Amino acid sequence: MPTTELSPELVRAAGLIREIPDYPEPGILFRDITPLLTDAAALKATTEALLAPFEGTFDVVAGIEARGFILAGAAAIAAGVGFVPIRKAGKLPRPAASVDYALEYGTATIEMHDDLPAGTRMLLIDDVLATGGTLAAGRQLVEQVGCTVSGISVLFEIEGLGGRELIGDLHTVFHS
């Protein structure tokens, strides 16, 4: 992962991300962020980097299951705001809205409760931007329940898969 113009803490954090070939499907290169998550300094640096461009523009942080969940929870605590879970289908006790979307290796559905006041500003966080399907579905879901996406932030982007063209303006900590 290119690490130009990153702080020493973020360069170190990037070095903790492992690449696992052919997981979860043949031909997919999975980025395992577990080592980054287990390192307090790396997690703090990446959390701060995810939040930095959006300071003061959001009321809550929304995270997409599963790894975006972890990063968004840490970001919400660091920002002193609440956390909104965007879950895979069937994981919430009372789904209010759902969106189906395509993955690079299949299809999926995400769900979210609708109990936030209309117009609530959300910072949407996920771990990776690949084809953009998951983040586009997350944005659609937030808007479907009457809230607004004030920004989108991801840990890293896999360039060349069309995600940025689909999502548009977003903040990426690392590029691959």
Active site residues: 67, 104
| DSSP summary character for residue 117 | P
24: cis peptide before it, omega within 30°? Answer: yes
Identify the helix (H) or strand (E) that includes residue 15.
Answer: helix 8-15
Identify the helix (H) or strand (E) that includes residue 123.
Answer: strand 121-129
C-alpha span between 90 and 6 (Å, rounded): 39
What is the sign of the dihedral through the CA atoms of 166, 168, 171 and 175?
positive
C-alpha span between 137 and 49 (Å, rounded): 23
